[in-house]
């Protein structure tokens, strides 16, 4: 009885989660210009979206910012996570506190803080503003995941390597790094997705001429609700799923399970 | 060989902390400092128009902005925001817990990764577009309204759009995975033998749940509550898309001070007030949780540490 209730609930929740996605995908095939008026089935929205110069440059900027953010986050956050897991100084507690603060801080407050700060610093290069703003959150995510993963590693693995004569750098390269890989990849993916999808920070720190795709969509939604936006969203979803499938496929061979990645992303990893 | 506990001497300590140095510098410069500046700005005032380069004047610091925020007009908005955040968080918990429970206990381990992915995938769609999809779904002449009317549940068209109701739905939708994941992780960690033992000893489903499952899942529940409530209270995009004027939250107010009113001092003060209120609610909830834990230990001899 409980089992059946649980399964029905799971089904209901999945429907709840997917109906809006269905709406977006269906809306992208609206041959009309405006999202709220169904004008027949067609690919006009996709054609319009892909030929729109503003959309193309916004997309290009978003991708570049997301890549830079992911890279920076992985390096800064990965190193921090490693240090947090291994070190025993008293600095680890306040540092973790800041990391957690970054992760839960309301975006509006952070975005406003960045705006003020960048204006104060007279930093007007849009790309840098965006990457800085996004990498704070991104690196915090990576640090958290790497710390959890490294912390859960069996210490005898590294000790065994050391006992067998490997110098510390070799131990790191051949034992620690491969075992930490799922956390680094998961963190990088999360940082990339966060940056790509971020609206609030992007809306506040973008300068004119450097608008990210979400910032563009947000302002476009306010004015004319066009079907091109649904087309972009569907394309983006398709691309993300594709990248995810490829990454998972690649890592499956390396680590033996997509579950490891998803589990690490879910925040818990126990071997 | 056991790992060392306690701080290590001199150079080793530095070597251990060194990898975190870039992150520390990054966070101090681009997180702590900007937040400190907001705090300072909250005591400033808006300069007379046309003069300043930035929309802030700091020569006469005062609490005026805080006084302005305490007026009924703004105070009511902040209270509505907190209400939406608390209700939204609790709704998320109610919806998420059975899902996490089903995932952790009913789905075979082989398929759990797939199930989790199935829950994440909707969130790989643009946040804006899927929130906007709710505008289409909840429209007065939209599919949900038509369905409810033809089924007899409603006499007239659905009028929830552009009110706090739509925002409430939207935030639950957007924050659901954040609640599901920590609870799932905590439940998955739990040894199923504990539940079986409890039932073998004669406790029914409900008692097993209340006395074994729930206490062991509490760390996950607390984490979920925290990571949903705090960002939710500062929501800006969802109320902007679904709420209209009546469904505005504190985030929209703060944003308007910066983007429209150009009153950075007031905006900064309101941001500080929002954070203070969030911390207040979290503090109250945390104390309540501690009290509940003490109470349950005394009255029902539930001690999760002993069971684990």
> What average pLDDT does the segment B146-150 reach?
81
CB atoms A10 and B99 under 8 Å: yes
Chain A residue numbers with beta carbons less than 8 Å from the beta carbon of B139 are: 36
Q: Is A36 exposed, middle or buried (0-12, 13-18, 19+ CB in 10 A)?
A: middle
Task: Give the pLDDT score at B52.
Answer: 47
Task: Give the pLDDT score at A175.
Answer: 82
Chain B residue numbers with beta carbons less than 8 Å from the beta carbon of A116 are: 34, 37-38, 41, 56, 264, 268
Quickly count: other Cβ atoms within 10 Å of residue A128's Cβ: 15
Q: What is the distance between the alpha carbons of residues B216 and B196, in angstroms, rounded to a whole number?
A: 14
Quickly count: other Cβ atoms within 10 Å of residue B141's Cβ: 9
Confidence of residue B302 (pLDDT cuts 50, 70, 90): low
pLDDT tens digits, residue range B214-247?
888 888 898 899 889 999 999 999 999 898 888 8
The DSSP secondary structure of B217-263, one letter per residue, reads: HHHHHHHHHHHHHHHHHT--HHHHHHTTTTT--HHHHHHHHHHTS--
pLDDT tens digits, residue range A185-229?
888 988 988 898 899 999 888 877 788 988 888 888 777 667 778
Chain A residue numbers with beta carbons less than 8 Å from the beta carbon of B233 are: 106
pLDDT tens digits, residue range A21-32?
888 888 888 776
Using the predicted structure, report yes or no on whether residue A176 has a pLDDT greater than 60. Answer: yes
Minimal Cβ distance to A80: which of B6, B20, B139: B20
Mean pLDDT of chain B: 83
Taking the CA atoms of B153, B155, B157 and B161 in sequence, report the sign of the dihedral they define: negative
pLDDT tens digits, residue range B254-285?
998 888 888 888 888 899 999 999 999 999 99
Task: Give the pLDDT score at A10.
Answer: 92
* Pairs from A88-97 (Cβ < 8 Å, separation ≥ 24): A88/B4, A88/B5, A88/B6, A88/B7, A88/B8, A88/B16, A89/B7, A89/B8, A89/B13, A89/B16, A89/B17, A90/B7, A91/B17, A91/B20, A95/B20, A95/B23, A95/B24
Examine the predicted complex and report whether its ipTM is higher than 0.90.
Answer: no
Using the predicted structure, report yes or no on whether residue A100 has a pLDDT greater than 60. Answer: yes
Task: Give the pLDDT score at B51.
Answer: 46
pLDDT tens digits, residue range B176-193?
988 998 899 888 888 888
- Hey, of B132, B189, B208, B231, which one would you mutate to test binding to chain A, going by the most A CBs within 10 A of its CB? B132
- C-alpha B206: how far from its chain's center? 28
Cβ(B266)–Cβ(B257) below 8 Å: yes
The DSSP secondary structure of A65-114, one letter per residue, reads: HHHHHHHHHHHHHHHHHHHHHH--STTHHHHHHHHHHHHHS-HHHHHHHH
CB atoms B125 and A87 under 8 Å: no
Task: Give the pLDDT score at A220.
Answer: 83
For the ranges A40-49, A195-204, B85-94, B156-165, the one whose mean pLDDT is highest: B85-94
Q: Is the pTM of this model over 0.90?
A: no
User: For residues B4 and B291, which has the higher predicted lDDT (pLDDT)?
Assistant: B291
Task: Give the pLDDT score at A66.
Answer: 93
pLDDT tens digits, residue range B108-133?
888 888 888 888 888 877 788 888 88
Q: What is the distance between the alpha carbons of residues A24 and A35, in angstroms, rounded to a whole number?
A: 9
């Amino acid at each position: 009885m409980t089992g059946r209730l649980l399964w029905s609930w799971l089904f209901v929740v999945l429907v709840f989660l997917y109906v809006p996605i269905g709406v977006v995908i269906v809306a992208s095939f609206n041959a009309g210009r405006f999202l709220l008026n169904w004008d027949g089935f067609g690919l006009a929205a996709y054609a319009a979206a892909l030929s729109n110069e503003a959309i193309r440059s916004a997309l290009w900027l978003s991708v570049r910012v997301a890549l830079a953010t992911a890279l920076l986050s992985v390096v800064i956050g990965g190193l921090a996570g490693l240090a947090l897991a291994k070190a025993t100084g008293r600095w680890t507690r306040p540092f973790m506190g800041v990391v957690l603060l970054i992760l839960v801080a309301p975006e509006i407050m952070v975005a406003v803080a960045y705006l003020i700060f960048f204006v104060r610093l007279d930093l007007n290069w849009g790309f840098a503003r965006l990457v800085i703003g996004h990498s704070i959150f991104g690196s915090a995510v990576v640090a958290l995941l790497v710390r959890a993963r490294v912390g859960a590693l069996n210490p005898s693995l590294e000790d065994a390597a050391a006992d067998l004569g490997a110098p510390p750098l070799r131990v790191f390269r051949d034992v620690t790094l491969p075992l930490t890989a799922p956390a680094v990849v998961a963190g990088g993916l999360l940082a990339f997705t966060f940056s790509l999808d971020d609206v609030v920070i992007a809306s506040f720190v973008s300068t004119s001429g450097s608008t990210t795709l979400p910032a563009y969509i947000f302002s476009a939604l306010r004015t004319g609700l066009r079907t091109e936006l649904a087309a972009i969203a569907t394309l983006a979803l398709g691309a993300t799923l594709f990248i995810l499938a490829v990454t998972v496929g690649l890592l499956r061979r390396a680590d033996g399970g997509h579950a490891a990645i998803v589990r690490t992303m879910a925040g818990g990893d126990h071997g | 060989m056991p790992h060392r506990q306690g701080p290590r001497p001199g150079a080793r300590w530095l070597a251990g902390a060194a990898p975190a140095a870039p992150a520390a510098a990054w966070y101090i410069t681009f997180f702590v400092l900007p937040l400190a500046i907001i705090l300072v700005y909250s005591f400033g005032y808006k300069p007379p128009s046309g003069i300043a380069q930035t929309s802030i004047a700091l020569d006469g610091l005062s609490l005026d902005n805080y006084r302005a925020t305490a007026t009924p007009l703004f105070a009511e908005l902040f209270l509505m925001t907190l209400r939406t955040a608390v209700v939204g968080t609790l709704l998320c918990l109610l919806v998420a817990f059975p899902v996490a429970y089903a995932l952790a206990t009913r789905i075979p381990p082989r398929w759990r990764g797939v199930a989790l992915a199935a829950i994440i995938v909707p969130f790989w769609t643009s946040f804006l577009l899927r929130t906007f999809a709710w505008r289409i779904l909840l429209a007065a002449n939209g599919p949900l309204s038509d369905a409810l009317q033809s089924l007899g549940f409603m006499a007239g068209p659905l009028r929830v759009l552009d009110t706090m109701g739509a925002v409430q739905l939207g935030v639950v939708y957007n924050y659901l995975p954040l609640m599901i994941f920590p609870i799932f992780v905590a439940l998955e960690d739990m040894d199923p033998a504990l539940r079986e033992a409890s039932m073998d000893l004669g406790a029914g489903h409900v008692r097993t749940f209340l006395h074994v499952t729930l206490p062991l899942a509490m760390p996950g529940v607390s984490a979920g509550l925290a990571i949903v409530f705090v960002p939710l209270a500062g929501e800006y995009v969802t109320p902007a898309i679904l709420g209209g004027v009546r469904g505005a939250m504190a985030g929209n107010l703060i944003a308007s001070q910066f983007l429209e009113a150009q009153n950075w001092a007031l905006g900064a003060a309101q941001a500080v007030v929002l954070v203070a209120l969030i911390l207040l609610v979290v503090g109250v909830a945390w104390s309540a949780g501690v009290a509940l834990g003490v109470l349950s230990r005394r009255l029902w001899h539930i001690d999760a540490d002993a069971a684990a």
